[in-house]
Chain A
């Protein structure tokens, strides 16, 4: 189980209770929907049992991580809209609704399914504001689950395999016009979700399947915004910077704990937003520690890990005492077998090994 890691900036209010990551997302959406009637939620089974309220059946599903459960009972089917399986159609409809005064939150069940609606995201949503000369805003949130569930310790059996376990945020962050946030805790999930809803452009919110229920921590009851485009130092250290994205931030923290046993003092930066990337927080950390390891669950080629490494090499080369290391999933699809999947996702001992090698 993951707990909320320390926050450098925001003191947790007295009203905090422990919520899971997905419950925090739910609360963020709920609070914003109360505040702003132009917000709608749509996607496949965001409620479930559509059209069956007369049988006493309602709210059967709530999305793959149950993050939208209960919204229909408060806001009704006009604002919480189940869609047929038609990603290109309903993501496009969300774009059209955003062009005409609504603030849609559209759910693509798994990031693997962006293949089914990629044009609406990369050619339509991402480009509208620019190519129409700023005539309209596109306040759209695209929520999507990513990553593997994780099956540590399992000696056989399997997961969700190649088409339901991918990370793929790099192919979204690559597109100019899209903001991409990757929360890591219940606390920052709520803050970033609210920021995404209030943003006037398209924002993709990446929700890790494993963190959805496993990342549980204190979350204040009231609304708060965490700025998009701001990374966070979640553990201070002087010997090396470990830069994590989403679930990998927890892997970095675990590695930092292990390294501390060896008197290696690792700093951990939680990237939180992939686009726009907070270069300065990462660079400042590297300036202090002089070493960088970036840990990324996505596949390596043209990945965020390598993008971050390139930016640091470009702007912080003089501060570095060692070549930057990047840790990614291998350059393969996600395998089914649990024993293979366990070796697919970067793990703490690999981070520790990378740091040891770096420190010689």
Chain B
């Protein structure tokens, strides 16, 4: 049980099987190109959501949205370790996962706007964004369900004799639900190429993790399924990337699933209407924000002379254009025709 407030100092870097490389080594193996990719995506997710938040606050009706802001290092660190043909299954807080896996920002924004050019042709919205073309099997707002789908996708890869790896993202709130444990057991007994990524952001809606979970590290539970469980600093993209690389390698080599717990923090409420100050303190938020994953990475790549400030600014400007273009595209796109209500069904209406 944590102390009085959410302990986000996160110096812990435990591993039940200490296979991960220390961070210096990780930095050493990071190419300029990889660093650019990481920064581009960290910043894109942040800018996309900053814009989305502004749209929501100015009254644009985008349906129910759950902001990912603050957790970018998890989506980007994990997806940086994946190949393009690998798959991910996400949860309700999925914007970051989508963008990191390569879902087009314009089609995502159009989906949120309820426009027919959206990823799901306006049938799904934020809680169901899916783009199978880039291996994004779906945002899923029924807690824990994505983990089971990831197991199925990995089983499919095994049967199809594909080398695909499947990563699934879920919150610490999912750690108490049966389907996650059933999925972990299946993945372990069938030795499937799954990477279970737990984003422990401290809160399931308004329920603090220390109330709902009796262990300090959820990754400890991986031992019960005989899979490696690693705790990483989810506000450090390199830390996430390193653990993800090890897990993906293990999966790719068909040695079985792994579990990575990323200690992170969501900057805003559970969804756009939620005031988080009813269940957490401003001080706690400030502590988490002082460790912002994007600012940290930005500072580090400059200090290590991996990327120049001008390069980073150019990436930021490009992302800004991408996001503005996404809004224009969404705005200009048509709403679906009423007949779309009756399409994509297996059982037609009489």
A residues within 8 Å of B by Cβ? 44-45, 48-52, 54-55, 57, 59-61, 82, 84-89, 112-113, 115-116, 151, 154-164, 300, 330-333, 335-340, 343-344
Contacts and interface: CB of A to CB of B under 8 A. Distances in A.
Given A85-B173, A332-B345, A339-B336, A161 B63 contact: yes
Contact of B341 (A54, A115, A163, A340): A340
Contact of B281 (A55, A113, A160, A344): A55
Contacts of B347: 331
Given A49-B280, A89-B178, A160-B127, 13 more contacts: A49-B208, A50-B211, A51-B210, A52-B280, A55-B5, A84-B211, A159-B64, A332-B341, A333-B123, A335-B341, A336-B125, A337-B335, A340-B122
Given A57-B280, A84-B207, A335-B123, A330 B341 contact: yes
B12 interface: no
B209 to A, nearest CB: 10
Interface in B120-149: 120, 122-125, 127-128, 141-144
Contacts of A160: 63-64, 125, 127
A338 B280 CA distance: 33
7 contacts: A154-B61, A156-B61, A160-B64, A161-B128, A300-B349, A336-B123, A340-B336
B177 interface: yes
Contacts of A162: 123-124, 128
A131 B2 CA distance: 45
Interface stretch (B107-115, B184-192, B227-235, B311-319): B107-115
A22 to B, nearest CB: 15
A161 B127 contact: yes
B123 A157 contact: no
Contact of A52 (B123, B144, B279, B342): B279
A253 B122 CA distance: 32
Given A86-B176, A160-B64, A160-B127, A51 B211 contact: yes
Contact of B278 (A57, A157, A330): A57
B128 A331 contact: no
Contacts of B349: 300, 330-332
B128 A163 contact: yes
B340 A335 contact: yes
Classify the interface of chain B: helix, strand, loop or mixed.
loop
B208 A158 contact: no
A54 B335 CA distance: 49
Contacts of B338: 339-340, 343
Which 10 pairs, one residue from A and one from B, show the smallest C-beta to C-beta distance?
A157-B61, A158-B63, A48-B206, A336-B125, A84-B176, A49-B279, A60-B278, A337-B114, A337-B122, A84-B212
A219 to B, nearest CB: 26
Contacts of A156: 61, 113-115, 335
Contacts of A51: 208, 210-211
B327 to A, nearest CB: 13
A64 to B, nearest CB: 9
A65 to B, nearest CB: 12
A88 B127 CA distance: 22
Contact of B178 (A60, A86, A159): A86
B204 interface: yes
Given A49-B208, A55-B4, A85-B143, A157 B62 contact: yes
Contact of B176 (A57, A85, A158): A85
B8 to A, nearest CB: 15
A45 B120 CA distance: 31
B215 interface: no
Nearest to B125: A336
B206 A113 contact: no
B137 to A, nearest CB: 15
Contact of A332 (B60, B177, B342): B342
Contact of A48 (B127, B279, B335, B336): B279
B207 A44 contact: yes
Interface of B: 4-5, 60-64, 111-115, 120, 122-125, 127-128, 141-144, 173-174, 176-179, 204-208, 210-213, 278-281, 335-336, 338, 340-342, 345, 347-349
Contact of A336 (B114, B144, B213, B279): B114
A49 B206 contact: yes
Nearest to B128: A161
Contact of A158 (B122, B210, B341): B122
B266 to A, nearest CB: 15
A136 to B, nearest CB: 26
Contacts of A61: 205-206, 278-279
Given A60-B279, A161-B125, A331-B349, A340 B211 contact: no
B222 to A, nearest CB: 19
Contacts of A331: 345, 347-349
Contacts of A55: 4-5, 281
Contacts of A112: 142
Nearest to A331: B349
B341 A343 contact: yes
Contact of A339 (B5, B63, B114, B141): B114
Contacts of A44: 204-205, 207
Nearest to A164: B141
Nearest to B204: A85
A197 to B, nearest CB: 25
Nearest to B173: A85
B114 A344 contact: no
A335 B280 CA distance: 34
A330 B343 CA distance: 11
A161 B64 CA distance: 9
A38 B339 CA distance: 52
A86 B213 CA distance: 12
A307 to B, nearest CB: 18
Nearest to B275: A60
A336 B120 contact: yes
Given A61-B278, A336-B125, A45 B61 contact: no
A86 B123 CA distance: 28
A77 to B, nearest CB: 10
Contacts of B61: 151, 154, 156-158, 338
